[in-house]
Chains A and B, each alone.
Chain A
Amino acid sequence: MIGTSAGVRARVQSATVRLPLVGVRVPRRQLLAGAVLALAIVLLAVVALGTGDYPLSVPEVVSALFATDGRFEQTIVLEWRLPRVLVAIVFGAALALSGAVFQSLTRNPLGSPDIIGFATGSYTGALIVITLVGDSYFSTAGGAIVGGLLSAVVVYLLAYRRGVQGFRLIIVGIAVTAILHAVNTWLLLRAQVEVAMAASIWGAGSISLVGWDQAVPAFAVLAVLAVVLLALGGGMRQLELGDDAARAHGVRVEVSRLSLLVVGVALIAVVTASAGPIAFVALAAPQIARRVTRSAGLPLVASALTGALLLLAADFVAQHLLPSAVPVGMVTVVIGGLYLIGLLIGQARKQQ
């Protein structure tokens, strides 16, 4: 008996690594995948910082990042390019976390906030503010957050029947998205041409206009949300086992679910408020992360890293690799559209 006990322990331990300080057991593969993703993000970020009308080599970028002499290269890297790169990384991570939360709660890879109406609701909120008040960064952001939260509340209430069940949330969300799309079109048609132009640029989803002034408050809010989410993560893992098992393990099921919903909505609302609706990062990143790490359920940290890498790469493509620069939202829509088709085919096959 002692022999088998030691054997099992060894096998369980060999597959995991205990992190110092926190003492959390992390599967070896997740740790490796996380390290590779983080490295890829750093490399791509350095390349992105060096690319543009005034090309810089990797050593030049690195020295500009750490130098203090205020050379011209420093202005380029720190003032012009770094905000955009950091925004891509942080916003990508936030979108992916939001997607992981909703896909976990709905137990469905389609249960993503950009599919079930929250991003569209943010756009509606922003459109209303732009047409009524005018186009300033913070009023648009406020409108987007309120719009996103309101649409989430509407979807939640319409889907509520003695608790919220995943599939109903998706169906109701898709219906609400369709209605909001119609509302958005109507608002654009009624608006004056200049206003409609400004709104359309915002609506395409772009991070090129976000500077330090807008980025810093958004980063602060997102950091708080991410910490709250990590604290809620244990409950999220339990909810994946079904409500009965979660409750039997001592989870306050409805409280946990509602807190997760609020954090998930807030994450995507803050990003949408700053950058407009950026589609499909929330949809694709958690699923890619799950496959890369081969973990059970949707891994939060790996999802965030994957989302960061995805948005950074998409923005690099949008900015430098296309004949003329386009908003990053257009690139993610195209990549994500292909991904969505693959996902739907895969799900259809599984059901046969």
Chain B
Amino acid sequence: MSTSRLRADGVTLAYDQRVISRDLSAEIPDDSFTVIVGPNACGKSTLLRSFSRLLKPNAGSVLLDGKAIDRYRPKEVARTIALLPQTSVAPEGITVADLVARGRYPHQNLIRQWTSADEAALVAAMEATNVDSLATRLLDELSGGQRQRVWVAMALAQQTPILLLDEPTTYLDIAHQIDLLDLFANLHRAGNTIVAVLHDLNHAARYASHLIVMKDGAIVTTGAPNDVVTAELVEEVFGLSCLVIDDPVSHTPLVVPRSGQWKD
């Protein structure tokens, strides 16, 4: 039985009056690469937002080490959980190193500003994401793939054991998507707990160690991809008729749609 530092306990999540999830409970197994999947508007990003303290549950609570996450000081949470938001804005004219350095904010205060530990974290984050050669470049000059790596570096600079990623591969071409997912897999192997919301079921099945499958704001099933990804599940959750075969490269489930002219 695995342990979970981060879990949602009977949370009701809503934007204003619009309830997305009611009485939802979920666990993030420690040291896992958890991927939350499900159709559009199933509440997967909403769940991730509640894990990252961006959305306060109307009922129930998100627990970090057994204590409600909103009872911690915000910076304390930010030293344990980092988030790559779906959208971020960068101030005009910011350099890569300057932006990544801003991820050190939770470790700083009025007295303790910039230390050699900050410096080391900055360099380590840029090296892990392979943006170290871009350190003095302006963010505006970079390609979409490079820019996303810089944002990841900013989250890594927080040096947290848990890293949340909200649709990190959206808007990237396939090579850059795989590139980033490989990076996350490396971070996972290095001992980080990773939680990602992904659109692509095949990417999820290949990289995740643990899947949370959601539909209509509720969790349908959880478990290792090899155990949970079946043609029946895909039909039930996405309403898509498909064949699930063994991925010849990674030996994980591979979803092959059977629709339109290829229907039986």
Contacts from A to B (Cβ < 8 Å): 1, 4-5, 7-9, 11-12, 15, 18, 22-25, 107, 162, 231, 234, 237-238, 240-242, 244-245, 247-252, 290, 294-297
Q: Within residues 66 to 124 of chain B, which ones have a CB less than 8 A from any CB in chain A?
A: 73-79, 81-83, 85-95, 97-99, 102-103, 105-106, 108, 110, 113-115, 119, 122-123
A247 to B77 CA separation, bound complex (whole angstroms): 10
What residues of B have a CB within 8 angstroms of the CB of A162 in the complex?
16
Return the contact of B122 from the options A12, A18, A234, A241 (Cβ within 8 A): A12
Contact assessment for B91 and A297 in the assembled complex, using a CB-CB cutoff below 8 Å: yes
Contact A25 B114, CB 8 Å, known A1-B127, A8-B123, A248-B82: yes
Q: Is the CB of A250 within 8 A of B103?
A: no
Cα–Cα, bound, A92→B234 (Å): 64
Query: How far, in whole Å, are A250 and B73 apart by their CA atoms in the complex?
Result: 8
Q: Once bound together, how far apart are the Cα atoms of A290 and B93, in whole Å? A: 9
By beta carbon, the residue of chain A nearest B15 is A162
Asked if B114 and A296 sit within 8 Å, CB to CB, the answer is no
- A27, chain B: closest CB distance, angstroms: 8
Docked-complex contact B123 and A15, CB < 8 angstroms? no
A251 contacts across to B, CB distance below 8 A: 74, 105
Kindly identify which residue among B16, B88, B108 contacts A241, using a CB–CB cutoff of 8 Å: B88
CB-CB < 8 A to B106: which residues of A? Answer: 249-250
User: Pick the contact of B105 from A242, A244, A250 — CB < 8 Å?
Assistant: A250
- Nearest chain B CB to A233 CB, angstrom units: 10
Q: With the chains together, A296 CA to B101 CA distance in Å? A: 12
Contact B135 A247 (CB under 8 A): no
Whether a CB of chain A sits under 8 angstroms from the CB of B193 is: no
B30 within 8 A of A: no
Residues in chain A near residue B103, CB distance under 8 A: 249
Contact call B102/A11, Cβ cutoff below 8 A:
no
Inside 8 A of B98's CB, which chain A residues have their CB? Answer: 296
User: In the complex the two chains form, is B127's CB within 8 Å of A8's CB?
Assistant: yes
B132 at the interface (CB under 8 A from A): yes
Bound Cα distance A7, B127 (Å): 11
What B residues does A23 contact at CB under 8 A?
Answer: 113-115
B239 to chain A, nearest CB (A): 31
Contact call B135/A11, Cβ cutoff below 8 A: yes
Q: A250 to B76: give the CA distance in the assembly, Å.
A: 7
Residues of chain B from 113 to 160 with CB closer than 8 A to chain A in the complex: 113-115, 119, 122-123, 126-127, 132-133, 135-136, 154-155, 158
Given known A244-B54, A296-B95, contact A249–B158 (CB-CB < 8 A): yes
Please state if A12 and B119 are interface contacts (CB–CB under 8 Å). Answer: yes
CB contact between A248 and one of B85, B95, B133 (< 8 Å): that residue: B85
Cα separation A15 to B94 with both chains bound (whole Å):
13
The smallest beta-carbon distance between A303 and chain B, in angstroms, is 14
B54, B75, B94, B133: the one contacting A296 at CB < 8 Å is B94
Rounded to whole angstroms, the CA-CA distance of A7 and B82 in the bound complex is 27
Taking A24-B113, A248-B78 as contacts, is the C-beta distance between A240 and B91 under 8 angstroms?
Answer: yes
Q: Chain A residues near B73: list those with CB within 8 A.
A: 250
Tell which of A4, A8, A9 has the most Cβ of chain B within 10 Å. Answer: A8
Q: How far is the CA of A248 from the CA of B123 in the complex (A)?
A: 21
The answer to whether B78 touches A234, judged by C-beta atoms less than 8 angstroms apart, is: no
Please state if A247 and B91 are interface contacts (CB–CB under 8 Å): no
Residue of A nearest to B93 (CB): A296
Not counting A247-B54, A249-B158, A250-B74, a sample of 14 additional A-B residue pairs whose C-beta atoms are within 8 angstroms of each other reads A11-B135, A24-B113, A107-B89, A237-B102, A237-B105, A240-B90, A241-B91, A242-B87, A244-B85, A245-B85, A248-B155, A250-B77, A297-B91, A297-B94
